[in-house]
């Protein structure tokens, strides 16, 4: 489908795309000089290494290596195709996407994910329409939301609340009549197959509907609540896991809450759909829910993109609080700060928000939120009064939580606080926290502490260890050498083209110094023998550069946007990766003050370009020699064919010797 969007429209989309605005909807970007920084959304990190350059229109993570433009970011983050990502950006900026009319065959080939999203979007509108315009929907669904739950029409519209007909298969039949396929009704979980007659029936029949939106606002699933009092009927039905929905990766309400979370720099975590909706209606919009499921690491990391601070609100049910405490440790383990608010019995966030103003709710949170340590101590000490065994178990529980905290300074502060609250020797707590960390995570710092405690080996005599954060990144600026792979050499040549293709360098030819253009040298040398790159992405970059270079002429810089905004997203990402590979390297000022020579670009090119090209040609020749020698060893050639192969081997050996002399040493 990518070729269905014409190039003119693609160019308009790229021209309009503001990469800071687009990525800023998914992570909290903070300005640092001319660029923006954040913790990477693609891997778990504590120190920001994800950089967005508004001037170049690219992003790059110097931790995991991912990079690209606004469109490829959406592809990676939303797990969508290139045309889908283009359409998302186009929709955001009001750009009409020009496509040729699809044939029936092309429609049939439309990928499953997009079909499921389309069906979910239709179903969400269907449930809303049924509740607002059908007598059953108005009398049952609308009455419940308005009268029993006190929701305004604006809130009902905002969250897309609806109602599924009580007639068992009405929605399924209406979907089929609208042209949606049975296979997608089943894969999204909107419909089930009847064991009685093999027909379809509605999963959410006779239930009020809560659509679940992903972070970009697309409907990925539904929750349905029955209004019956029959105990044999499950209170909630939820969409099953599918290609577009994983419950452990979604937070209900995050699409509506993310801006408020960023602005206020903290998120409020509640349990259910109506808790979120009522809090939003009360004017508190930085609220999300785990949708009745246990909190997951993926959900916490999703929030971590917007804030480091979470406030968990529990209702007055003590049993529920005890069951949910595991989530506190998970939040701490991800390096986030967690505070806890307990509501008075029998309130829950839904009822509390409906019976109080926004100012009252906010004041209650401010006045009653506790540090997780104080909260655990208060909750668990009730059961441990006068019982040393229970008190010891409580201390163990608190130590377990403290051990999850990755930051050593924060751990130290909490150990002191725990020592004060529980009236226990701080050294004992330090030792216990260290043991827990060593057992669960192999923490070097705690391993060192325990060694000291046991006096096994003094620190100064231990072999040096490199902390995780200090481990060197892969340095693509290191020179290529003989023995480098095809991939490495091709990347090196592409790097010289993208960064320096228009530049000149002086090369010694005999006794003369000859001015050479980088692109000209590369293309001239590689046109010898019709050499093409093995890596298809690097081959496309070479092809694109050659096309533009031929049009613009030698010495004219080929603009980076031809590669950063290429129609092939793999070319986009590879180009960004290469163009930003050493952006974070700056020669030491000390070197300059000490008058230590720093190699200039011209000097680097004079050595690097001829060397990279010659090494690559030698690699190609070596590969050809191996193939010919294998043919000789095979023993299946005729005498005439053997003579031809021997002749070619001799010729290639001669070429290899010339290349070796060109490098000034033998290339094995």
Task: Please write the tens of the pLDDT for every residue from 25-55.
Answer: 888 898 888 789 999 988 888 788 899 988 7
Helix (H), strand (E) at residue 312: strand 309-314
pLDDT of residue 459: 37
User: Which of left, alpha, beta for 209 (phi over 0: left; psi -120 to 50: alpha)?
Assistant: beta
Q: Round to whole Å and give the CA distance between 299 and 257.
A: 14
Helix (H), strand (E) at residue 363: helix 358-368
Architecture of domain 115-245: Alpha-Beta Complex (3.90)
Q: Round to whole Å and give the CA distance between 621 and 614.
A: 10
Mean pLDDT by 10 residues, the chain (668 residues): 64 82 89 88 86 86 88 86 87 78 53 86 96 95 94 95 94 94 94 89 95 89 91 89 88 90 89 93 92 79 85 72 74 88 86 89 90 80 72 83 85 88 85 77 52 44 36 43 80 89 73 76 75 88 88 80 85 86 49 50 78 84 82 78 80 75 50
Q: Round to whole Å and give the CA distance between 619 and 622.
A: 5
Separation of CA 330 from chain center: 19
pLDDT of residue 8: 72
As given in the structure block, the two tokens for residue 47 are 């120190």
Q: Round to whole Å and give the CA distance between 100 and 433.
A: 64
118 CB burial (10 A radius; 0-12, 13-18, 19+): middle
Taking a C-beta distance cutoff of 8 angstroms, is the pair 541, 579 a contact?
no
Q: Domain-by-domain residue ranges, the chain?
A: 2-105, 115-245, 374-458, 486-663
Coil, helix or strand at residue 156: helix
Coil, helix or strand at residue 338: strand
As given in the structure block, the two tokens for residue 407 are 């930051």
Q: Any alpha helices (H) in 205-336, and if so which ranges?
A: 254-264, 273-281, 297-304, 318-324, 326-333
Looking at the domain 2-105, which fold is it?
Answer: DNA Primase; Chain A (3.90.580)
Q: Residues in the chain, how many?
A: 668
pLDDT of residue 373: 84
- The rounded radius of gyration (Å) of the Cα atoms in the chain is 32
Q: Any alpha helices (H) in 508-588, and if so which ranges?
A: 518-527, 536-552, 561-564, 569-579
Q: Any alpha helices (H) in 385-407, and if so which ranges?
A: 388-404
Residues paired with 313 in a beta bridge = 341
């Amino acid at each position: 489908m990518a070729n269905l969007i014409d190039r003119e429209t693609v160019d308009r989309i790229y021209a309009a795309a503001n990469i800071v605005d687009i990525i800023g909807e998914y992570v909290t970007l903070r300005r640092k000089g001319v660029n923006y920084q954040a913790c990477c959304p693609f891997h778990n990190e504590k120190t920001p290494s994800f950089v967005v350059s508004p001037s170049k229109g690219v992003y790059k993570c110097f931790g995991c290596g991912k990079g690209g433009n606004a469109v490829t970011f959406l592809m990676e983050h939303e797990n969508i195709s290139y045309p889908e990502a283009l359409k998302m950006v186009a929709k955001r900026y009001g750009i009409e996407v020009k496509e040729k009319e699809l044939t029936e065959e092309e429609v049939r080939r439309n990928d499953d994910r997009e079909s499921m999203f389309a069906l979910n979007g239709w179903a969400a509108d269907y449930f809303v329409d049924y509740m607002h315009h059908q007598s059953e929907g108005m009398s049952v669904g609308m009455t419940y939301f308005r009268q029993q739950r006190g929701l305004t029409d604006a809130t009902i519209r905002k969250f897309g609340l609806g109602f599924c007909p009580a007639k068992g298969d009405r929605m399924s039949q209406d979907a089929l009549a609208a042209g949606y396929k049975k296979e997608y009704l089943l894969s999204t979980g909107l419909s089930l197959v009847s064991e009685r007659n093999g027909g379809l029936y509605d999963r959410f029949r006779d239930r009020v509907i809560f659509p679940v939106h992903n972070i970009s606002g697309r409907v990925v699933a539904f929750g349905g609540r029955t209004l019956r009092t029959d105990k044999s009927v499950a209170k909630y039905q939820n969409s099953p896991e599918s290609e577009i929905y994983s419950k452990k990766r979604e937070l209900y309400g995050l699409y509506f809450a993310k801006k408020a979370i960023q602005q206020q720099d903290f998120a409020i975590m509640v349990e259910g759909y109506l808790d979120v909706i009522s809090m939003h209606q009360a004017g508190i919009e930085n609220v999300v829910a785990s949708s009745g499921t246990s909190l997951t690491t993926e959900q916490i990391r999703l929030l971590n993109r917007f804030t480091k601070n979470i406030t968990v609100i529990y209702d007055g049910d003590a049993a529920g609080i005890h069951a949910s405490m595991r989530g506190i440790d998970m939040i701490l383990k991800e390096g986030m700060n967690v505070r806890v608010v307990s509501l008075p019995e029998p309130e829950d966030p839904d009822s509390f928000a409906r019976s109080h103003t926004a100012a009252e709710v906010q004041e209650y949170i401010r006045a009653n939120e506790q540090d997780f340590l104080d909260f655990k101590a208060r909750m668990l000490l009730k059961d441990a009064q006068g019982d040393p065994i229970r008190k010891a178990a409580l201390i163990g529980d608190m130590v377990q939580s403290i051990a999850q905290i990755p930051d050593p300074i924060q751990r130290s502060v909490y150990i002191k606080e725990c020592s004060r609250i529980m009236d226990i020797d701080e050294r004992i707590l330090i030792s216990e926290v260290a043991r827990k960390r060593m057992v669960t995570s192999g923490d070097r710092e705690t391993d060192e502490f325990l060694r000291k405690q046991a006096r096994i080996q003094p620190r100064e005599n231990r072999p040096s260890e490199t902390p995780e954060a200090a481990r060197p990144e892969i340095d693509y600026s290191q020179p290529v050498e003989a023995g480098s792979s095809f991939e490495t050499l091709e990347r090196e040549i592409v790097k010289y083209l993208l960064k320096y293709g228009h530049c000149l360098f002086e090369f010694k030819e005999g006794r003369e110094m000859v001015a050479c253009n980088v692109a000209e040298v590369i293309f001239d040398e590689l046109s010898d023998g019709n050499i093409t790159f093995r890596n298809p992405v690097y081959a496309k970059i070479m092809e694109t550069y050659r096309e533009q270079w031929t049009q613009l002429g030698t010495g004219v810089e080929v603009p980076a946007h031809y590669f950063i905004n290429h129609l092939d997203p793999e070319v986009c990402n590879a180009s960004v990766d290469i163009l930003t590979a050493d952006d974070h390297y700056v020669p030491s000022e000390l070197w300059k003050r000490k008058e230590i020579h720093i190699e200039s670009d011209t000097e680097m090119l004079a050595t690097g370009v001829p060397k990279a090209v010659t090494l690559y040609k030698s690699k190609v020749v070596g590969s050809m020699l191996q193939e010919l020698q294998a043919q000789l060893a095979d023993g299946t050639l005729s005498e005439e064919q053997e003579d031809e192969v021997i002749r070619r081997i001799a010729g290639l050996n001669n070429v290899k010797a010339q290349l070796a002399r060109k490098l000034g040493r033998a290339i094995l």
